[in-house]
């Protein structure tokens, strides 16, 4: 299987409860048509998950969710029209709306409206497939991400994709990676993303060849009551679409305020070096940090704001004491392990062993909510990625790509 000559993935998969990691090569069509194909691919699972979410709401809650979805769509359209936002970002927002519409059509959300919500009016207007699409995008997951600088010219990123099943049904029917062709300067770029069936690409981990990779972690924040807020999942799609064009912090600040909260970690390459940064954002606020140039330096993110005393954390974070304690233990375990890995000669193997650890019970790296893991190594000269199934899948399987010399 090849993707526009830019990568040659090797799939090695064992039979499991969800089957192998499926790679969807959608690069033969443009980005909008590819999202329609993705919607058609996940249609059955989207319907199952959406009906479960709708079934968990009473009438008052449902009406409010539809109102919020309409406010979010209106807020996204405001970003398209705003001359205060850079033109490239506004163009990307416009592309997001086209892709979301195509995905909505492919997933046949209109059929759910006809069968399950026919006759339901919200503020005098019938519920639409577009309402349901935005409703789905306003949903987050768990996860944790780290980056470690091997030396001045290379960085390793790792990420675990953790998702419980809060709606009483499985969020996944199978594990998917999907590749898309994105217009760019010169030849098109190819991006590959881990797919949540109910979300557009970008909300988990994703990469653009050997030059850019991102991973996303949920932050637990107060519900937004700002009509102009947009879902954080729209921001991560836009960051992936733009790739190395523009810094994460600039994109985030241009699009604020938000519904929900995320930490977005990115690794990217310039002509002579490799960099990593992280931006934590919620409501109308954002805090960014960069990985130091010192070998052995690291950034690590769980579902907590990095600095609990920061203004963004004090004004937005909402998490119970016990969950905070367990996540803080995860941070402490990781920091101890990273100190040992930083002293080793094979840091990538050390991180692989760390991801296999079952220390920490439900908050271990290898806990039963982990659907997939990624280890991505980027240097000035080359890059490689390995995506593995997590213990929720029970058996070993992986997807790996190596990019040769890129200098």
pLDDT tens per residue across span 216-274: 999 999 988 899 999 999 999 999 999 876 689 999 999 999 999 999 999 999 888 99
CA distance 256 to 249: 11
Whether 13 has a pLDDT exceeding 80, the answer reads no
Task: Give dist(CA 9, CA 2) in Å, integer.
Answer: 7
How many angstroms separate the CA atoms of 401 and 350, rounded? Answer: 19
- 319 has a pLDDT exceeding 50: yes
Nearest to 205 by CA among 255, 267, 155, 274: 267
DSSP annotation string for 143-210: -EEEEEEEETTEEEEEEEEE---TTSS-S-SSEEEEEEEE--SSSPEEEEEE--TTS-TTSSEEEETT
* Mean pLDDT, residues 350-376 taken together: 88
Q: For strands 274-282 and 285-290, give the pairing.
A: antiparallel
- Range with the poorest average pLDDT among 273-277, 325-329, 400-404: 400-404
State percent of the chain over pLDDT 90: 73
In 197-260, beta strands by DSSP E: 205-208, 212-218, 230-231, 258-259
Query: Looking at the domain 141-401, which fold is it?
Result: Penicillin V Acylase; Chain A (3.60.60)
Q: Quick: pLDDT tens for 330-353.
A: 999 999 999 999 999 999 999 999
């Amino acid at each position: 299987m090849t993707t526009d000559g830019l990568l040659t993935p090797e799939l090695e998969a064992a039979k499991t409860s969800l089957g192998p990691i499926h790679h969807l090569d959608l690069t033969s069509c443009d980005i909008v048509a590819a999202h329609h194909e993705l919607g058609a691919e996940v249609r059955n699972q989207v319907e199952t998950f959406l009906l479960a979410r709708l079934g968990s709401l009473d009438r008052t809650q449902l009406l409010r969710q539809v109102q919020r979805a309409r406010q979010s769509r209106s807020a996204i359209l405001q970003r398209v029209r705003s001359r205060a936002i850079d033109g490239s970002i506004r163009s990307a927002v416009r592309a997001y709306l086209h892709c979301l519409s195509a995905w909505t059509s492919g997933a046949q959300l209109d059929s759910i409206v006809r069968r399950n919500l026919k006759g339901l009016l919200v503020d005098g207007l019938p519920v639409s497939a577009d309402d349901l699409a935005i409703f789905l995008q306003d949903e987050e997951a768990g996860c944790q991400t780290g980056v470690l600088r091997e030396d001045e010219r290379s960085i390793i990123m790792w990420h675990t994709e953790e998702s419980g099943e809060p709606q009483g049904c499985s969020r996944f029917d199978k594990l998917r990676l999907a590749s898309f062709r994105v217009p760019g300067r010169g030849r098109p770029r190819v991006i590959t993303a881990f797919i949540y069936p109910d979300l557009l690409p970008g909300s988990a981990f994703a990469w653009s060849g050997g030059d850019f990779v991102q991973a996303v972690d949920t932050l637990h924040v107060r519900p937004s009551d700002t009509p102009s807020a947009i879902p954080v999942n729209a921001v991560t799609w836009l960051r992936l679409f733009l790739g190395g064009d523009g810094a994460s912090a600039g994109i985030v600040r241009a699009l604020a305020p938000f519904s929900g909260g995320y930490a977005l970690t990115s690794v990217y390459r310039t002509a002579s070096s490799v960099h990593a940064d992280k931006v934590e954002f919620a409501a109308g606020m954002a805090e960014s940090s960069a990985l130091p140039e010192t070998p052995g330096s690291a950034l690590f993110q769980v579902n907590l704001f990095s600095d609990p005393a920061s203004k963004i954390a004090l004004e937005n974070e909402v998490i119970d004491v016990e969950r905070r304690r367990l996540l803080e233990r995860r941070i402490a375990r990781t920091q101890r392990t990273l100190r040992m890995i930083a002293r080793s000669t094979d840091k990538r193997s050390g991180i692989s062993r760390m991801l296999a650890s079952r220390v920490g019970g439900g908050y271990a790296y290898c806990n039963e909510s982990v659907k997939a893991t990624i280890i991505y190594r980027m240097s000035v000269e080359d890059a490689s990625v390995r995506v593995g199934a997590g213990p929720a899948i029970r058996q070993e399987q992986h997807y790996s790509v190596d990019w040769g010399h890129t200098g």
